[in-house]
Structure 1
């Protein structure tokens, strides 16, 4: 069973409901969970622990994959990327989360919203919030790593915001070559154009990827789109 709304949004809804109705938070959580088709919040949490989009995505990744994950704002793509990194670390893979969008505190808050204490993953998930993040910067950080890694980049449209950085296409080729040469996985989070909200489609696709600058999507071997708690895999371009 998939959620119609990301978990962290449901928690916010429960907190608001608790304040508005002067209801204990645990009861508000249960009511919100019931609205999603679960018996209680604990039932929801236990189910999602075994049936999460991150678990499904991780199972689909093959060595050398460069994967794009696209979603509109507040659909949970950052949480998906962080959970993906955390899950990979639990099976013995070194994971990196590079973000141009969040600070360390933001990342810690999002780990906490998933019930993961930052200190529980800090030795296996490297979080880099440098303003210098680009494909070349990422490769320099990974140069000394032994064995395949899992890399999450947050997010595509910010990689060339500095005029001194290479074009998106050049950076994607660098990341693609790194993944192929090392057998690593590189997952790049991406914005979806706001025109998707005005259409009738239930799930965004490759044509909805926001492209302020031209993007050659052929570098990606996998496309994953997230909307309303559901995950969809598309064929490579």
Structure 2
């Protein structure tokens, strides 16, 4: 069965329904699922997860890769990153999600929204929402992480928001070196500049990445840009 809209649009619709009807979000999600022909949101999410682009993207990543996932707000970049983390865990690897944007509850709710129950991954999934997140912090926390661990940083532009942190380029270089030395896959979720016009090109690219501070984008080995359910994946070179 084909969904009437991408799952992140359906989830947004459910949130709106929850507010307007004053019902719990899980009830609103189930109602939206019913309109799509499913008895519960968990079944809809499982169906969507089975056909997600993450299934095809994950095998293209290699230990040591530094990856940028970018999109405008509401286009599914966080869900895509979590779907990739789920693929990693299904393969037996650990995954860690560092967020300066969301709470742990927010992250776990989004994990459930894509049909993944946190408990099913036991100790494979770690969420860290510390205000102290920086390159040095991630390196310290992941010092004993095994090869193949999938690390998501949410998000790129917030890494140097604290004056005491090094410049963004310094932090990204440090994480690139760390990823290669340890054999980790590091994903940076990235904002896209408001000047991006989908009428001009279907997906944003590196030229559209919002950079309040300078950063050499050639540091990224691979990129994944999303807009209106279209996904464009590219490897450097």
* Aligned-partner SS, 2:98: strand
Unaligned ranges ≥5, structure 1: 34-39
**How far does residue 46 in structure 1 lie from its aligned partner after superposition?**
5.7
Contact 1:104–1:129 (Cα < 8 Å) also in 2: yes
**How far does residue 13 in structure 1 lie from its aligned partner after superposition?**
2.5
Query: What residue is the counterpart of 2:145 in the other structure?
Result: 145
Contact 2:98–2:128 (Cα < 8 Å) also in 1: yes
Query: What residue is the counterpart of 1:37 in the other structure?
Result: none
> How many positions carry a matched residue from both structures?
227
* Aligned-partner SS, 2:195: helix
Is residue 2:226 matched to residue 1:222? no
Please say which of residues 40-49 and 151-160 is displaced more in the overlay: 40-49
Query: What residue is the counterpart of 1:66 in the other structure?
Result: 66
* Aligned-partner SS, 1:161: coil
Q: RMSD value over aligned CA atoms?
A: 2.7
TM-score after normalising by structure 2? 0.84
Query: What residue is the counterpart of 2:25 in the other structure?
Result: none
Q: Residue deviations 1:1-29, cap 9 Å, x none? A: 99785414314436767988xxx986753
Contact 2:77–2:189 (Cα < 8 Å) also in 1: yes
Query: What residue is the counterpart of 1:172 in the other structure?
Result: 172
Q: Residue deviations 1:194-232, cap 9 Å, x none? A: 111475211101100000111111110101101112210
The separation in 2 between residues aligned to 1:8 and 1:79, in whole angstroms, is 8
In the TM superposition, 1:1-237 aligns within 5 A as: 5-13=5-13, 28-29=32-33, 31=35, 33=36, 40-41=37-38, 45=45, 47-197=47-197, 199-236=199-236
Query: Given the superposition, is the C-alpha separation of residues 44 and 198 from structure 1 closer, same or farther in structure 2, using an over 3 Å criterion?
Result: same
**How far does residue 147 in structure 1 lie from its aligned partner after superposition?**
2.6
**How far does residue 80 in structure 1 lie from its aligned partner after superposition?**
1.3
Unaligned ranges ≥5, structure 2: 22-27
**How far does residue 116 in structure 1 lie from its aligned partner after superposition?**
2.2
* Aligned-partner SS, 1:74: coil
* Aligned-partner SS, 2:69: strand
Contact 1:6–1:75 (Cα < 8 Å) also in 2: no
Query: Given the superposition, is the C-alpha separation of residues 2 and 226 from structure 1 closer, same or farther in structure 2, using an over 3 Å criterion?
Result: farther
Contact 1:11–1:29 (Cα < 8 Å) also in 2: no
The separation in 2 between residues aligned to 1:186 and 1:93, in whole angstroms, is 13
**How far does residue 236 in structure 1 lie from its aligned partner after superposition?**
2.3
TM-score after normalising by structure 1? 0.84
Please say which of residues 217-226 and 192-201 is displaced more in the overlay: 192-201
Contact 2:100–2:130 (Cα < 8 Å) also in 1: yes
Query: Given the superposition, is the C-alpha separation of residues 137 and 10 from structure 1 closer, same or farther in structure 2, using an over 3 Å criterion?
Result: same
The separation in 2 between residues aligned to 1:4 and 1:207, in whole angstroms, is 31
